[in-house]
Amino acid sequence: MRSFYYLILLSLILLTGCSRPVGGPCEFESRFGVAQIVGSENGETVARFNPGTARFTASKLSFSPKTKYTVKHRIQGEPGTLYPAQLALITTGSCTPENFSLIATEEMSRGIFLPFSREGQIEPESEQKISQLGVIVKNLEVTWPKLTITLCGQTHREGTEEYNLELGNRYVRIIADQLTQSGISGDKITTISFGEVPCPNSNIFPDEVKNGIWFSFYLTEKSAGAAKDRRDFEMLTEQAQSGDKIAQYHLGNFYAGGRGVEQDFSQAFYWFKKSAEQGLGESQLLVGLSYFIGMGTEKDRPEAVKWFEKAVEAGSSDAAYQMGLVYLFGQGRARNEEKCLEYMRDAARMGNQDALNFFERAAQQNDTTAQLFLAQLYTYGAGVPQDDDKAMRLYQQAAKAGDSDAMFLLGQAYHDGNITIENPEKALFWYQKAAESGNSSAWYRLGFLYEIGELVPQNRDKAILWYTKAAAAGFDDAETILEELKQEDTPEKDN
């Protein structure tokens, strides 16, 4: 199967309005339904949209002014066979079948497989694909703010028809939620499940699906008309050729989506790279994605990583998240958990929702590193709205699970009273728990507390004990304080 990005951009369904409408602008909405093969005419299979009256054949569009539907779909099977069909419902104006174009290729017809675990959880492979889909959609939205998305799910045949329909709905809603969490408006997303019936433009048989979902997505937008698209394309071309990096970015999107011009991924890549070379982070990210999957250029993952890094330097949180995935899955660079977390943290601090979701899910699975990191984000309002209650809850979860850093920071929270009510007893309790767990910051803090007599009775010997442990762990301040304490213990000599 081709790479996910390639399938996505090849599966853009962009229905274009009339360039010369009769009776006003031609606008429409995308609709899905189930068609039934009813027979044959002149050697061709004929199907009927159910419950409508639109009829269509395997080779051409059939247009019914009465029902205002146009249909285009490959048809195979015996009479009575049911399968999904995509239709365009005209909402205003008057159109003929020739006014609609369906951009699709054999490459996109297989859809995308998104594996789920037996427990119904998204597998890491699916997480990566969904996040990449979100990146592309968000960039297309810049050029086409009215963009809408339809997600269609197809499941396996294990279970009843009703069960599979609900399973498809559940999985597709999970995908929609992930896209929403990535920053795509929920009102732009429509979900539909055909259960074990293949989605439109998918030739996957349900028996091939195990513990997952075959997922096809369609990008549609009401068009202001082909003539306006062409004018916009020509205007952007002129600006792009003059060196405008923003126009170059939008022109790349026009080529990628086939708006005002024939779809051409090589030209899309050309203009994305022109813009990227002038330092536009959004274009640098798309050049990286293009190299990563071989879209409009040869696949070159090491080169993709270089462009991701440039986009990170330009401030792209999406690029930082993609770098995290690069190191998580070992694609383009060797797997490296430390670097993965480094980039994920950078992306989360910049407010990247995918990265925040990455840590939220890990925290929910009792990962103390994720719990502690999120607690600090909520403490300082870095990448998320400041939330003292969430911060305290996460500190407590990590501390009770045995994380010594969380124990120390929880003690500090009760000590300072900045994010919760000051509580000296709890502060001392958690400082001591952290120290017992080998936390060097807690050793230093206890040394200081015993030195000045705060939270505990002043005790010079205990202060020296804890400072000594902290100094051995590399605390330079502890070493300096120990020297000062020793000097105080040395009697002054008579002159």
**Rounded to whole angstroms, how far apart are CA atoms 102 and 56?**
15
CATH number of the domain residue 126 falls in: 3.30.1330.60
DSSP 409-441: HHHHHHHH-SSS---HHHHHHHHHHHHHTT-HH
Of the chain, the end-to-end C-alpha distance in Å amounts to: 89
* Whether residue 196 sits in one domain with residue 115: yes
* Whether residue 71 sits in one domain with residue 90: yes
Q: Give me the residue label for tokens 């909402």.
A: 91
- Residue 21: per-residue pLDDT: 28
* Whether residue 127 sits in one domain with residue 81: no
Ranges assigned E (strand) in 51-175 = 55-57, 62-64, 69-71, 82-94, 112-115, 148-154
Residue 293 lies in a domain: yes
Q: Could you tell me the two tokens for 247? A: 């126009």
* Whether residue 174 sits in one domain with residue 261: no
Question: Shortest CA distance to 39 belongs to which of 73, 72, 74, 79?
Answer: 79
Identify the domain boundary among 173, 195, 220: 220
For the chain, the 3-state helix, strand and coil shares in percent, each to the nearest 5, are 50, 15, 30
Instruction: For residue 444, give the H/E element and its range.
Output: helix 440-452
**Rounded to whole angstroms, how far apart are CA atoms 261 and 346?**
38
Identify the domain boundary among 52, 76, 100: 100
Counting the structural domains of the chain, the total is: 3
* Whether residue 42 sits in one domain with residue 76: yes
* Whether residue 93 sits in one domain with residue 121: no
Domain that holds residue 75: 22-100
* Whether residue 195 sits in one domain with residue 156: yes
Q: How many CB atoms lie within 10 A of CB 258?
A: 19
Q: How many CB atoms lie within 10 A of CB 31?
A: 15
CATH number of the domain residue 286 falls in: 1.25.40.10
- Environment class of residue 43 by beta-carbon count within 10 Å: exposed (0-12), middle (13-18) or buried (19+)? exposed
Phi-psi sector, 120: left (phi>0), alpha (psi -120 to 50), beta: left
* Whether residue 174 sits in one domain with residue 144: yes
Question: Shortest CA distance to 132 belongs to which of 8, 314, 273?
Answer: 8
- Residue 429: per-residue pLDDT: 97
- Predicted model pTM: 0.60
Query: What does each of the 495 residues of the chain score in pLDDT, given as a tens digit?
Result: 223 332 233 232 222 222 222 333 444 444 444 455 666 666 655 655 443 444 444 443 333 333 333 333 444 555 555 444 444 444 444 444 333 333 222 223 335 667 776 666 777 767 777 777 777 677 767 766 666 676 777 777 677 777 877 888 888 888 888 888 877 888 777 777 767 765 654 544 555 555 566 665 555 554 455 677 788 899 999 999 999 999 999 999 888 767 788 878 899 999 999 999 999 999 999 999 888 877 788 889 899 999 999 999 999 998 999 899 889 878 889 999 999 999 999 999 999 888 898 899 889 989 999 999 999 999 999 989 999 999 999 999 999 999 999 999 999 999 999 999 999 999 999 999 999 999 999 999 999 999 999 999 999 999 999 999 999 999 888 899 998 887 876 655 554
* Whether residue 212 sits in one domain with residue 117: yes
Residue 383 lies in a domain: no
Report the b/e string of 482-491 with b at 16+ CB within 10 A: beeeeeeeee
How many residues appear in the chain? 495
* Whether residue 209 sits in one domain with residue 242: no
Question: Shortest CA distance to 433 belongs to which of 469, 401, 388?
Answer: 401
Residue 177 lies in a domain: yes
- Residue 86: per-residue pLDDT: 46
SS3 of residue 459 by DSSP? coil
Identify the domain boundary among 287, 314, 341: 314
* Whether residue 243 sits in one domain with residue 186: no
User: CA distances (Å), 482 to each of 447, 453, 464, 475, 492, in order?
Assistant: 10, 17, 7, 11, 18
Question: Shortest CA distance to 373 belongs to which of 360, 364, 386, 385?
Answer: 360
Give backbone dihedrals phi and psi of 32, rounded to 5 degrees, phi first: -120, 145
* Whether residue 131 sits in one domain with residue 200: yes
Phi-psi sector, 26: left (phi>0), alpha (psi -120 to 50), beta: beta
Beta bridge partners of 149: 189, 219
Query: ∠ at Cα 278 (275, 284), nearest 5°?
Result: 55
**Rounded to whole angstroms, how far apart are CA atoms 312 and 384?**
19
- Residue 491: per-residue pLDDT: 58
Interacting residues of 348 by C-beta distance below 8 A, sequence separation 6+: 355, 356, 358, 359, 373, 377, 383
User: CA distances (Å), 93 to each of 24, 66, 90, 278, in order?
Assistant: 5, 14, 8, 43
**Rounded to whole angstroms, how far apart are CA atoms 394 and 371?**
5
Residue type at position 417? G
CB distance 220 to 30 below 8 Å: yes
Q: Give me the residue label for tokens 């079948």.
A: 97
Residue 175 lies in a domain: yes
Residue 114 lies in a domain: yes
Residue 412 lies in a domain: no
Residue 427 lies in a domain: no
Residue 448 lies in a domain: no
